[in-house]
Amino acid sequence: MDAAHSQNPPIPVSVTVGGWTGSGNFSNILASADLRSTFISELSNLVNTYCFDGLDFDWEYPAGNGSGLATNAWSLNDTGDFLTFFQELRANPATSNLILTAATPIHPWNNATIQPLTNVTEFAEVLDWIQIMNYDVWGSWTNGPTAIGPNAPLNDSCALPQHQLGSGVSAVAKWTAAGMPANKIVLGVGAYGHSYGYNQSIFTPYANSTSKSHGDKWADPTGDTRDFFSLIDGGFLTESGKPMDGIQYVFDNCSQTAYVYDKTTQVVVSFDDAHAFEAKGQFIADRGLRGFAIWEAGSDSSDMLLDAIRKTSMGN
């Protein structure tokens, strides 16, 4: 914290509350005026004790109808309660001046009919920015065959209709159409990919997997994720991020994402390489977005991905 605040200019630091495994009680807490008041008081104590500059909320997901963990509480009133909570944070003298941000799905939060909101202007008034989590769009979620698609597609408007599950382009379009200013949107990017079992001679995007593939040694035991650096450690990529000899490399010009296929081990990985990060950075600059957020910086290798997206999004 001291190191961040000692920079010139000082770097603000926020603490994130929630996450994929930490969203179970948001619905119950925010539905109660008394519990919201207690929650705000505890959050105020937290930021004051550790000198945080902001609060970031990662609720996966309000009015999610089972789209988060099955054990998460949820209600049709979740998104309205979320807005009330942010308004109370802004109105409370102890938290009014904090940086307030939120991680979001690739469409506006659901309303009380479990459809994406068409008007988020009240959220825009109380939030400093949102971070669209444009990753995990495709993955090997089941044990059976599944189409091998891009983890974090930049674009899907050029894909076949059945392959248009969402992308950075469509997500930004949906959020801005609902009233979130582009300069309050941060694009979430993923420094990891999803692996699939595949046993054909040549891989093409959206081909069906032939089995489930486990992720790298840092992944959840039942997961399929592979950090970018693990693709180097695992023999898919060289130290410079290029495909190793014997590895098939495919760059999909529609989604602007990469794939590598090791025919020997029969594993395909859908991921973002430096080329994909450059494309996302250019999109951020062209659309006037606030910037990017990476999940996670520790998954990079020698800042290869960070350097690529900084070069195009920030001009350095």
What pLDDT digit, counting tens, does each position of 178-190 carry?
Answer: 999 999 999 999 9
Write the CA distances from 10 to 53, 131, 300, integer angstroms. Answer: 11, 21, 25
Q: How far apart (Å, rounded) are the C-alpha atoms in residues 278 and 285? A: 11
User: Is residue 29's pLDDT more than 70?
Assistant: yes
User: Is residue 246's pLDDT more than 70?
Assistant: yes
How confident is the model at residue 295, as a pLDDT?
A: 97
Choose which CATH entry (3.40.1440.10, 3.90.1300.10, 3.10.560.10, 3.20.20.80) describes domain 2-190+274-313.
3.20.20.80
Confidence band of 219 (pLDDT split at 50, 70, 90)? confident
259-264 long-range contacts, Cβ below 8 Å, gap at least 24? 259/148, 259/203, 259/205, 260/231, 260/236, 261/198, 261/203, 262/235, 262/236, 263/201
How confident is the model at residue 39, as a pLDDT?
A: 98
Q: How far apart (Å, rounded) are the C-alpha atoms in residues 34 and 36? A: 5
Give residue-wise pLDDT tens across range 199-212. Answer: 999 999 999 999 98
User: Is residue 50's pLDDT more than 70?
Assistant: yes
Tokens 């040549």: give the residue: 202
Confidence band of 296 (pLDDT split at 50, 70, 90)? very high
Q: How far apart (Å, rounded) are the C-alpha atoms in residues 173 and 267? A: 34
Q: How far apart (Å, rounded) are the C-alpha atoms in residues 107 and 134? A: 10
Sketch the domain layout of the chain as residue ranges.
Answer: 2-190+274-313, 193-271
Confidence band of 56 (pLDDT split at 50, 70, 90)? very high
- Laid out side by side, the sheet with 291-295 consists of 14-18, 54-58, 99-104, 129-132, 185-190, 291-295
The CATH number given to 193-271 is 3.10.50.10
How confident is the model at residue 127, as a pLDDT?
A: 98
Q: How far apart (Å, rounded) are the C-alpha atoms in residues 60 and 18? A: 8
Q: How far apart (Å, rounded) are the C-alpha atoms in residues 112 and 296? A: 32
Confidence band of 220 (pLDDT split at 50, 70, 90)? confident
Confidence band of 143 (pLDDT split at 50, 70, 90)? confident
Confidence band of 61 (pLDDT split at 50, 70, 90)? very high
Kindly state the tokens that stand for 174: 């949906």
Residue type, 26: F
Q: How far apart (Å, rounded) are the C-alpha atoms in residues 101 and 185? A: 10
How would you class 88 by CB atoms within 10 Å of its CB: exposed for 0-12, middle for 13-18, buried for 19 or more?
middle
Q: How far apart (Å, rounded) are the C-alpha atoms in residues 278 and 107? A: 23
Q: How far apart (Å, rounded) are the C-alpha atoms in residues 141 and 160? A: 21
Confidence band of 116 (pLDDT split at 50, 70, 90)? very high
User: Is residue 222's pLDDT more than 90?
Assistant: no
User: Is residue 83's pLDDT more than 80?
Assistant: yes
Residues 6+ apart with CB under 8 A from 226: 192, 193, 194, 195, 215, 216, 219, 234, 269, 271
Confidence band of 218 (pLDDT split at 50, 70, 90)? confident
User: Is residue 81's pLDDT more than 80?
Assistant: yes
- % of the chain residues with pLDDT over 90: 94
Average pLDDT along the chain: 96
- % of the chain residues with pLDDT over 70: 99
| Exposure string over 143-176, b if 16+ CB within 10 A, otherwise e | eebeebbbbbbbbbeebeeebeebbbbbbbebbb
How confident is the model at residue 315, as a pLDDT?
A: 67
Contact by Cβ (8 Å): 289, 182? yes
